[in-house]
Homo-oligomer: A and B are copies of this chain.
């Protein structure tokens, strides 16, 4: 019974961001190439897969078997060179479940010959789903989450990903269940909004028996991108925004030239989109540490945090 009640009364389902790598194009001894795993109720969604991701995934202790979907933001090497190694290792570990890869069609063209050569006879399939980074579209959906592309502005076609949790049923108030002696079989109906009728015909309104579940959460991943205010509408009120912050403000001309953002620009997007918290990453290898980036972003948006390898950020 305990586990039944635990699941009935649990308030917040798991929604966590695992940072596997938050460096930029040049890997360093401090930061790995880009990759994250979003853990939603123990379903794992990988975003980007730079070189070394498979080892970082192992380090995270996340279960390989829970990962069935990988999303690639764009086709720069620091966001996808780790794919072939990860796919190959899954094969050696005798994975059988399909692995779904959401990416631009060019990546399929580049990967297929490598898969045919290096991964012949693998016991599972890689299923490619082509995405168009220029359009805003739901590309994945299940009963707990939807994932949509966020068109970004970079040197090559690039999109971010917006994870939207689906609403969960209201929460039962356990003491009221006890008070009215409501039978177990009614509980799911009450969670879904029904009132309860006593034997004497008295109606106990649903609002007395439940409290609203936590509002659905959302996570917006935006990397790599120049400062691109058009995205604020789509990511409005996100619980967490991950936004690249490759450069300090003093390097803004380099940011413009390479279609990247400064920490202040990331913070401005967070402020305009009225998100709750901002996580910055994709740090340039030129900085010895990221405290300047953090201070610059916090001067505009105080709820800013630095990404770091092996960090788990809870929504």
Contacts and interface: CB of A to CB of B under 8 A. Distances in A.
A58 B88 CA distance: 25
Interface residues of A, number: 31
A77 B111 CA distance: 13
A106 interface: yes
State the main secondary structure of chain A at its contact with B.
Answer: helix
Interface stretch (A113-121, A201-209, A291-299): A113-121
A290 to B, nearest CB: 19
Contacts of A84: 77, 81
A106 B117 contact: yes
Interface in A110-158: 110, 113-114, 117-118
Given A85-B51, A85-B81, A26 B117 contact: no
A182 interface: no
A14 B117 CA distance: 39
A186 to B, nearest CB: 50
B51 A27 contact: no
A85 B77 contact: yes
Contacts of A89: 26-27
A51 B82 contact: yes
Contacts of A88: 77, 81
Given A51-B82, A52-B52, A84-B81, A118 B26 contact: no
Interface in A53-95: 54-55, 58-59, 75-77, 81-82, 84-85, 88-89, 92-93
A48 B76 CA distance: 24
B29 A59 contact: yes
Contacts of A59: 29
A28 interface: yes
A52 to B, nearest CB: 5
A311 interface: no
Nearest to A109: B113
A25 to B, nearest CB: 6
20 contacts: A25-B92, A27-B58, A28-B55, A29-B55, A29-B59, A33-B85, A51-B51, A51-B52, A51-B54, A51-B82, A51-B85, A52-B52, A75-B118, A77-B84, A77-B118, A106-B117, A109-B113, A110-B114, A110-B117, A113-B113
